[in-house]
């Protein structure tokens, strides 16, 4: 799929400024940027949640996973109901356990409510719900941003596994370069509403072409030794 | 005027999505709820039984007992036809409540429709409806009610209609706010993307999540309607004879108040009790909708431990056996010991719920009630914290919190907030304090410090504000700076600058820094020494430069392994830690990490390992590593 | 992060932008006020025409001779086409001509001019009393019950204010008259003559609002006490008085002022019942009389005046808040 000249404006403020981005089939495109860079607005525009100008071609079904797993599940619906939303009634009984299995959750969780789950489990449920929409593209907006590190690893593994097993295309958004590098095939760097650099993950990290990318890389904290 | 809502009412809107229906029991037991419930129940019984029992007595005309005051036969006196006033008050309950119910229904139905309208109308029309509702909400109910009553004619019908109209805008506003907050929720966005039709989103997501607060609001509206109708009847604008409600009885009674005040007592008490009952109950219901009960119980804190060993004369901060506990058996920090020497940067690292922030709060004396803090020793700069004056503590200890947007008072100028430390604790004159504030702002490399000192916090960026907070800590002569996740809310490039600033400050002032963070990479980069916390206890202490390959505790190792960095092998899965950290109330007798640890043995599950020396400047609490 | 409208760009912090934005908001508020005022004028005009049947006949009673009704109808212009009537009405209102009373033949404008000051005095006094008593009370309760300490105080405060809020002002009025005027004879039971006569009406009018504002102040104060900047102020070991007066109080003022404004409008309306009980020669008493006696020109004019006062007070509160609160324009945009 291809994003062509996409622009998002809120009143007089341009959050996303004429962005063109290609997401090849079965690829994970990582999008990094700091707060206010427009990465979340781009995600919401691609998902059709905010009005935009410009074009999005070749992606009929788009689903999104949100940052806060405590806000993205309806507290009044069971896990099964949440995951089964958007699936035809007669297929629900077989699909819900399958989807829960895909995100490595036991099928018994279907009868539980979100408040009974941990943050990591909730985020898996949100991913399962998105997979239920049989997406051609999955938009993941800071999905590990509110998780603890020890839980984050498992969710990132899951994301990579889904790409490998299902051939899922993904727009993976994070402020954390190391996280994006780990899951993405290519990395796009966003700054002030524009994409300043886009290339294969190792190349962007190893031989950054843009000054801003270099500044971002230099700022990533590293363990010494 | 009579539609006064409790101040907690609107807040119900914000919080409702987060609560679960559980644990509402505690609220019902509270006294106001009980009083309200009993009063409302009494009113309901009165409405059903009143006319049946006293109906005849209320209509019995007695020419020999006209306009009497209180007597044994007529406790509240009689009216101008000699009818017993007590009986009439008891009978009037049904009519008063029925009218109030009718008015509430009119108001609720009209208001909810009006409030739901914007979500189905086109944008422009929706904005007009919203604007109208907002304008009407500002109008006092009485004005709307009187207007409607004039138009629809004097009498019960006009009054009910009028009060209904007066209630409607409030309901419309509540519906709008609730619907807007739910419609903006991520789960509604997710449903929209799954192609769930609008109608179904309304039925499955929006209605269930707004129905409860709306229904709960009815109790309060009913009380308001009852008082409103009583007021209208009292003014002679409502119920007309021969019908009578409490307001009308009060109207009759008021005419005689100068001669026989007792005749006003019955209807006045009835109106007051009904109003109080519905209001107290409605208040409780609104609160129940707003949040789940905290369920605080009174518990006895642990005994303070004996001070062990000799104080460390070189330490700027020495903590021995610090425990923070909350009533109900929750102990988020357990027997923690920590030593920080001058000029040292110590990182306190752990995941959410590990107790690291409460440790910082306890050292700063900021643990919120009802938490209780005990310690064997808590020494700052050679003096026991308990014996230090506010002035000594205020200048010797500096604190920096996570969110620089929230750390500065939005109502006060930046410079003034810095200067007050010097004014209050050091007796500096205002001008001197100002000068010092600007100097400190310059010291933390805030550009144009004189200009920013006279600005309000919202005029500064996040990084600038965090610099200002650090400068505030430097107004005194701090021996210790406690920084609780000071860069978590900042972008990485700004984080880098703030970390560098903290290091420079430590080098220049010789103060020690206790740096609390969830990010082991940041801690490893900035700090000299790292203290790892898990479930309220220290599990490992080691020099920061040994983190990468010298960490011994399985938790520390797993934490490092699960953190991707720019050199992580992308072809191999990331390590994670199965399971979750136990809650502070659920930590058992053994090692708290045992359930998630691949090395765990039976001993780990039953006996808690102590922190023991494991190599140079390293201590570990783990049976498998140290035995 | 997700909503860039509330994210303040570092570049837009210049003072002139803030001033311009404040001005723009002010203009928008004044426009909104003008629209509301026009709507109010239409509503007041429509009132007479919405009354079922013939208002003149209703007012004069069934026995009135047909000539009198026709003469009265013509005098009021009710026989003219509606648009013409409206234009005439607006013209009259704008020149201060509110018509004449059916009953007394007085100019309604004169009646309002004589009585409005009495109502305003009552409402302003009650608002002042309410704020002066309630704000310290609410702050005190918040500080005492912060984080759930002093459960007893919390419970007592909640129950007492919850009860006081629920009692309508006419009951306070009646209770005060019965106890302090008729029973003990300390105060005159009715009328307006000298300072003593103000005490009971003002007390009756401010009792409920005191409870309400105290509750709001408590909630606001508790919220402030939980903020990071108050934690930081505590870490600085500021004395309690400075902490509460300098750091907490200013941040609760926005809410208090908003409520104070709303309160003034609701007290102006609430004074109707109090004036009725105390036979206070204000507009409230007049409106009750005019409605029960079907003196429609008076009722229409008084409702119009009440409505206009509400709009003016709301406008003033809005403008003052906009000028006071450095962050209000953010709320305005993101609301």
CA distance B202 to B119: 10
- Pick from A68, A115, A220: which is nearest to B566 by CB? A220
A128, two tokens: 């399962």
Q: Is B236 close to C158, i.e. CB distance below 8 A?
A: no
* Residue segments in chain C with a per-residue pLDDT below the cut of 50: 1-14, 328-335
DSSP class of residue A76 equals T
Contacts of C13 in chain B (CB under 8 A): 455, 459-460
Instruction: For residue range C242-263, list pLDDT tens digits in order.
Output: 888 888 888 887 777 777 777 8
Q: Which residue has the higher pLDDT, B274 or B293?
A: B274
Question: Which pLDDT band holds residue B24 (cuts at 50, 70, 90)?
Answer: very low
Which among C154, C249, C127 has a CA at the least distance from the CA of B8?
C154
Which of B5, B26, B142 would best serve as a mutation to test chain C binding (most C beta carbons within 10 A)? B142
Of the partner residues B520, B522, B565, the one whose CB lies closest to the CB of residue A178: B565
Question: What per-residue confidence (pLDDT) applies to A180?
Answer: 94
Arithmetic mean of pLDDT, B517-542: 93
- Nearby residues of B251 by Cβ (< 8 Å), 6 or more positions away: B233, B234, B235, B236
Option in B32, B135, B424 nearest C242 (CB): B424
Strand A169-174 versus strand A28-32 pairing type? parallel
According to the model, what pLDDT value does residue C44 have? 87
Question: Using CB atoms, which chains have 3+ pairs under 8 A with B?
Answer: A, C
Inter-chain touch A34–B492, beta carbons under 8 Å: yes
Residues of A in contact with C9 (CB under 8 A): 13, 36
Q: Which burial class, exposed, middle or buried, applies to B342 when counting CB atoms under 10 A from its CB (0-12, 13-18, 19+)?
A: middle
The residue of C32, C237, C273 whose CB has the most chain B CBs within 10 angstroms, and thus the best one to mutate to test that interface, is C237
**What is the tens place of the pLDDT at every residue in B275-322?**
999 888 887 777 665 543 333 333 444 455 555 566 677 789 999 999
Range in B217-221, B342-346, B508-512 with the lowest mean pLDDT: B217-221
Cβ of C1 and A36 within 8 Å?
yes
Strand pairing partners for B515?
Answer: B347, B483
Q: Rounded to whole angstroms, how far apart are CA atoms B229 and C133? A: 29
Q: How far is A133 from chain B (nearest CA, A)?
A: 5
**Residue of A7, A10, A68 to mutate when probing chain C, most C C-beta within 10 A:** A10
How many angstroms separate the CA of residue B505 from the nearest CA in chain A? 20
Are B397 and B380 within 8 A, CB to CB?
yes
CA B527/CA C288 separation, integer angstroms: 76
C256: closest chain B residue by CA: B7
When pLDDT is averaged across residues B583-601 and rounded to a whole number, the result is 88
Cβ of residue A214 closer than 8 Å to a chain B Cβ: no
Distance in angstroms (rounded) separating the CA atoms of residues B493 and A32: 13
Contacts of A152 in chain B (CB under 8 A): 562, 576
In this prediction, residue B306 carries a pLDDT of 57
Cβ pair B522:A220 closer than 8 A: no
Pick C303's closest partner by Cβ from B143, B257, B421. Answer: B143
Check pLDDT > 80 for residue B577: yes
Chain B residues inside the 8 Å CB shell of A49: 189, 192-193
CB-CB under 8 Å, B227 with C47:
no
C5–A10 CB contact, under 8 Å: yes
Q: How far is B337 from chain A (nearest CA, A)?
A: 25
In this predicted structure, what is the pLDDT of residue B537? 93
Q: What is the mean pLDDT of chain A?
A: 90
pLDDT at B22 over 80: no
Residue range B431-471, pLDDT digits in tens: 999 999 999 999 898 989 999 999 988 888 888 999 999 99
Q: Token pair for residue B377?
A: 């020793």
> Which of B2-6, B108-112, B389-393 comes out lowest in average pLDDT?
B2-6
B574 and A156 in contact by Cβ < 8 A? yes
| pLDDT given at position C18 | 62
ipTM over 0.95 threshold:
no
Q: Does residue C11 sit at the B interface (CB-CB below 8 Å)?
A: no
Number of CB pairs < 8 Å for A and B?
A: 174
Distance between CA atoms of C297 and C308, rounded to whole angstroms? 16
Nearest CA in chain A to C5: A10
Best residue in C50, C138, C168 to probe B by mutation, most B CBs within 10 Å? C168
Task: Give the whole-angstrom CA distance, residue B456 versus residue C328.
Answer: 13
**Residue B620 dihedral angles phi and psi, to the nearest 5°:** -135, 145
A positions 154-173 inside 8 Å of B (CB) = 154, 156-157, 160
What is the average pLDDT value for chain C, to the nearest integer?
81
The pLDDT of residue A191 is 94
Residue % of chain B over a pLDDT of 70: 91
Going B55 to B58 to B63 to B65, the CA torsion angle's sign is positive
Within 13 A of A186's CA, how many CA atoms are on the CB side? 17
Q: What is the mean pLDDT of chain B?
A: 83
pLDDT range class, residue A82, cuts 50, 70, 90: very high
Split at pLDDT 50, 70, 90, the class of B17 is very low
pLDDT digits (tens, 9 = 90+) for C12-61: 344 556 677 778 878 888 888 898 888 888 888 888 888 777 777 777 77
Give me the helix-helix angle, B207-234 and B141-152, nearest 10°. Answer: 70
Q: How far apart are CA C46 and CA C300, in angstroms?
A: 9
C185 touches chain A (CB under 8 A): no
Which tokens is C274 given?
A: 């109090």
Residue B3 has a pLDDT of 39
Residue in chain B closest to C181 (alpha carbons) equals B258
Nearest CA in chain A to B572: A157
CA B237 to chain A, closest CA, distance in angstroms equals 45
pLDDT at A104 over 60: yes
Q: What is the DSSP letter of C109?
A: H
A34 in contact with B at a CB cutoff of 8 Å?
yes
Confidence category of residue B580, pLDDT binned at 50, 70, 90: confident
Span B46-60, mean pLDDT?
Answer: 84
- Give how far B391 is from chain C: nearest CA, Å: 7
């Amino acid at each position: 799929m291809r994003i062509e000249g996409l622009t998002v404006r809120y009143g007089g403020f341009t959050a996303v400024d004429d962005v063109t981005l290609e997401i090849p089939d079965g690829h994970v495109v990582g999008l990094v940027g700091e707060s206010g860079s427009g990465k979340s607005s781009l995600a919401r525009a691609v998902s059709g949640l905010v009005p935009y100008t410009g074009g999005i071609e070749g992606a009929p079904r788009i689903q999104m996973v949100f940052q806060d797993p405590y806000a993205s599940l309806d507290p009044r619906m069971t896990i099964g109901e949440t995951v089964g939303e958007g699936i035809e009634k007669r297929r629900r009984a077989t699909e819900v356990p399958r989807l829960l299995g895909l995100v490595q959750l036991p099928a018994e969780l279907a009868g539980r409510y979100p408040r009974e789950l941990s943050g990591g489990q909730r985020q898996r449920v949100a991913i399962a719900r998105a997979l239920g929409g049989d997406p051609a593209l999955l938009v993941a907006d800071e999905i590990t941003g509110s998780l603890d590190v020890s839980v984050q690893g498992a969710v990132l593994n899951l994301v990579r596994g889904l790409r490998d097993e299902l051939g899922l295309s993904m727009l993976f958004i994070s402020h954390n370069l190391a996280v994006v590098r780990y899951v993405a095939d290519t990395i796009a760097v966003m700054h002030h509403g524009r994409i300043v650099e886009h290339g294969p993950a190792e190349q962007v990290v190893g031989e950054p072409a843009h000054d801003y990318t270099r500044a971002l890389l230099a700022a990533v904290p590293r363990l010494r030794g | 005027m009579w539609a006064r809502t409790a101040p907690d009412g609107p807040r119900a809107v914000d919080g409702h999505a987060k609560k679960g229906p559980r644990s509402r029991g505690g609220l019902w037991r509270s006294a106001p709820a009980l009083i309200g419930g009993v009063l409302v129940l009494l009113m309901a019984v009165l409405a059903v039984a009143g006319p049946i029992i006293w109906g005849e007595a209320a209509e019995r005309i007695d020419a020999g007992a006209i306009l009497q005051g209180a007597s044994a036969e007529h406790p509240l006196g009689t009216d101008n036809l000699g009818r017993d006033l007590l009986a009439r008050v008891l009978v009037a309950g049904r009519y008063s409540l029925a009218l109030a119910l009718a008015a509430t229904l009119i108001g609720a139905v009209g208001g909810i429709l009006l409030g739901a309208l914007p979500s189905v109308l086109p944008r422009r029309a929706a904005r007009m409806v919203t604007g109208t509702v907002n304008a009407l909400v500002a109008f006092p109910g009485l004005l709307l009610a009187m207007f409607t009553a004039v138009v629809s004619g004097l009498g019960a019908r006009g009054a009910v209609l009028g009060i209904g109209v007066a209630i409607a805008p409030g309901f419309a506003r509540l519906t709008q706010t609730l619907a807007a907050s739910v419609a903006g929720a991520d789960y509604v966005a997710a449903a929209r993307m799954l192609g769930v039709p609008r109608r179904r989103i309304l039925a499955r997501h929006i209605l269930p999540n707004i129905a409860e607060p709306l229904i709960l609001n009815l109790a309060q509206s009913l009380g308001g309607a009852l008082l409103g109708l009583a007021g209208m009847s009292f003014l002679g604008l409502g119920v007309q004879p021969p019908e009578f409600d409490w307001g009308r009885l009060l109207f009759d009674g008021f005419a005689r108040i100068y001669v026989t005040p007792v005749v006003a007592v019955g209807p006045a008490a009835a109106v007051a009790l009904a109003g109080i009952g519905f209001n107290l109950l409605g208040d409780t219901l609104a609160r129940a909708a707003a949040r789940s009960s905290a369920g605080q119980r009174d518990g006895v804190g642990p005994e303070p431990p004996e001070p062990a060993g000799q104080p460390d004369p070189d330490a700027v901060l020495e903590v021995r056996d610090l425990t923070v506990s909350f009533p109900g058996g929750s102990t988020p920090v357990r027997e923690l010991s920590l030593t920080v020497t001058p000029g040292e940067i110590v990182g306190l690292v752990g995941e959410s719920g590990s107790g690291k922030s409460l440790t910082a709060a306890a050292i700063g004396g900021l643990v919120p009630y009802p938490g209780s803090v005990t310690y064997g020793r808590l020494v700052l700069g050679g003096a026991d914290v308990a014996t230090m004056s506010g002035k000594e503590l205020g200048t010797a200890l500096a604190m920096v919190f996570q969110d620089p947007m929230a750390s500065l008072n939005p109502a006060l100028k930046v410079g003034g907030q810095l200067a007050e430390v010097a004014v209050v604790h050091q007796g500096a004159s205002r001008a001197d304090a100002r000068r010092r504030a600007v100097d400190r702002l310059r010291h933390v490399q805030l550009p144009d410090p004189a200009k920013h000192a006279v600005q309000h916090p919202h005029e500064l960026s996040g990084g600038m504000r965090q610099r200002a907070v650090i400068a505030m800590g430097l107004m005194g002569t701090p021996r210790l700076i406690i920084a609780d996740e000071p860069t978590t809310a900042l972008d990485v490039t700004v984080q880098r600058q703030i970390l560098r600033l903290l290091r420079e400050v430590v080098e220049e002032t010789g103060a020690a820094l206790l740096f609390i963070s969830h990010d082991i990479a940041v801690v490893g980069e900035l700090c000299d020494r790292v203290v790892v916390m898990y479930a309220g206890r220290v599990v490992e202490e080691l020099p920061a430069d040994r983190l990468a390959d010298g960490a011994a505790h399985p938790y520390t190792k797993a934490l490092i392994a699960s953190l991707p960095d720019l050199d992580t092998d992308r072809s191999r899965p990331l390590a994670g830690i199965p399971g979750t950290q136990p809650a502070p109330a659920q930590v058992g007798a053994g090692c708290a990490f045992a359930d998630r640890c691949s090395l765990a043995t039976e001993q780990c599950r039953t006996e808690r390992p102590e922190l023991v020396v494991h190599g140079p400047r390293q201590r570990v609490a783990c049976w498998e590593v140290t035995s | 992060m997700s909503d860039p409208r509330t994210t303040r760009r570092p570049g837009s912090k210049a003072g002139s932008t803030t001033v311009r934005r404040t001005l723009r908001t002010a203009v928008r508020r004044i426009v909104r006020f003008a629209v509301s005022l026009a709507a109010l004028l239409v509503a007041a005009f429509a009132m007479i025409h919405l009354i079922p049947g013939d208002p003149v006949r209703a007012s004069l009673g069934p026995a009135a001779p047909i000539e009198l009704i026709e003469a009265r109808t013509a005098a009021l212009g009710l026989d003219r086409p509606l648009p013409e009537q409206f234009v005439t009405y607006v013209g009259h209102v704008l020149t201060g001509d509110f018509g004449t009373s059916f009953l007394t033949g007085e100019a309604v404008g004169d009646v309002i001019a004589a009585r409005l000051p009495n109502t305003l005095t009552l409402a302003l006094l009650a608002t002042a009393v309410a704020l002066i008593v309630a704000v310290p009370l609410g702050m005190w309760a918040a500080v005492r019950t912060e984080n759930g300490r002093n459960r007893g105080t919390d419970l007592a405060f909640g129950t007492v204010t919850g009860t006081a809020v629920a009692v309508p002002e006419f009951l306070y009025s009646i209770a005060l008259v019965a106890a302090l005027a008729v029973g003990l004879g300390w105060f005159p039971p009715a009328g307006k003559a000298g300072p003593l006569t103000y005490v009971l009406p003002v007390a009756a009018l401010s009792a409920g609002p005191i409870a309400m504002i105290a509750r709001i102040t408590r909630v606001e104060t508790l919220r402030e006490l939980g903020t990071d900047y108050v934690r930081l102020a505590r870490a600085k070991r500021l004395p309690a008085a400075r902490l509460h007066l300098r750091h907490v109080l200013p941040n609760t003022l926005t809410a208090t002022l908003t409520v104070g404004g709303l309160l003034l409008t609701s007290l102006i309306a609430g004074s109707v019942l109090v004036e009725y009980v105390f036979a206070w020669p204000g507009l409230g008493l007049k409106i009750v009389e005019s409605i029960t006696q079907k003196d429609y020109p008076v009722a229409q004019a008084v409702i119009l005046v009440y409505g206009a006062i509400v709009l003016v007070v709301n406008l003033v509160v809005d403008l003052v808040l906009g000028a006071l609160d450095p962050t209000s324009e953010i709320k305005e945009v993101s609301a």
